Amino acid sequence: MNLLDAMLQGLMLGGLYAIFAAGLSLIFGVMKIVSLAYGAFAVLAGFIALHLTEAGGWSPIVSLLIVVPLMAAFGWVLQRFILQRTLGESALPSILVTFGLAIIVENLLLITESADQKRMTLGWIDTAAINIGAVRLGVYPLGLFVSSLVILGILALVMARTQFGRAVRAISDDASTVELLGIRPKSVYACAGAIALALAAIGGVASGIQTSFSPTSGGLLLIFAFEAVIIGGIGSLWGTFLGALVLGIAQTVGASYFPSQGILIGHIVFLIFLAFLPQGLSGKVKRL
């Protein structure tokens, strides 16, 4: 595998990480909620989609029509009635509660779904590829990359142009003053929680098509998402996108030199960023 090829594959993989990390970027980067259950919820969405495809014979893409709204509603309820109570001066309560939720979800899935590796398929698209010059690109990874651009574009537009987006950014600046303007912070948080889990659902289903997944694969997804957010710079959505691409490229290029060590090399690149560019690519230094 030549370098250009590996880099392009990494870019495509980065697209998948970007979709998944965008939700985390919103709740962790912008709203300062540390959710350790994010990966487990993505896997949960993957299993729901899997059952829909098995029971209804649907394409996994069609299953998103049900999985995404379902997870968004779940995210809203979770944020409004559980995580909202953990918010305060310290980040510790939210870490503990989401850690507990992750364990519960993981074990419920282990009981109901077994520990076997599962995978969803898009049929012929799985293996289809197009030739661009000297390299071959998979249709599915390419579609995923384009989708990630579209999804992040829409999210960035929402953050920049809507009253909800302004309120989210204002809460990140100064939460107590937001209330003085007549904004209900709890509903802003709940909507952000809904968007985050909707993105986690898309990411979970997309990754379930790309590779196999099991009830315990959420942990790794979560780490990738945190790495993308931090490489990109906390608080910046496009930074997260870049961070996800860097991580994807590091993993595939690394794997082309040291087969089966790709993920480790991704972690090392992340640690290098943390050591030498802790404010991330976007350079937005924000208080946490």
Which residues make up the interface to other proteins (CB under 8 A)? 163, 166-167, 169-170, 172-174, 176-185
Task: Kindly list the distances between the CA atom of residue 287 and the CA atoms of 53, 174, 231, in Å, as whole numbers in the listed order.
Answer: 44, 11, 16
Give me the least distance between CB of 155 and other proteins, in Å please.
Answer: 17
Task: Kindly list the distances between the CA atom of residue 274 and the CA atoms of 94, 213, 263, in Å, as whole numbers in the listed order.
Answer: 23, 28, 17
* 121 CB-near residues (< 8 Å, 6+ apart): 60, 209
Give me the least distance between CB of 170 and other proteins, in Å please.
Answer: 4
Residue 171's nearest CA partner among 235, 240, 90, 78 is: 235
Q: What are phi and psi of 135, to 5 degrees?
A: -110, 155
Residue type, 84: Q
Q: Which is nearer to other proteins, 80 or 169 (CB)?
A: 169
Give me the least distance between CB of 164 and other proteins, in Å please.
Answer: 11
Q: Which is nearer to other proteins, 115 or 181 (CB)?
A: 181
Q: Which is nearer to other proteins, 29 or 254 (CB)?
A: 29
Give me the least distance between CB of 250 and other proteins, in Å please.
Answer: 30
Q: Which is nearer to other proteins, 62 or 183 (CB)?
A: 183
Q: Which is nearer to other proteins, 237 or 247 (CB)?
A: 237
Instruction: Specify the long-range contacts of residues 113-117, CB closer than 8 Å, at least 24 apart.
Output: 113/47, 113/215, 115/214, 115/215, 115/216, 116/214, 117/212, 117/213, 117/214
Give me the least distance between CB of 70 and other proteins, in Å please.
Answer: 29
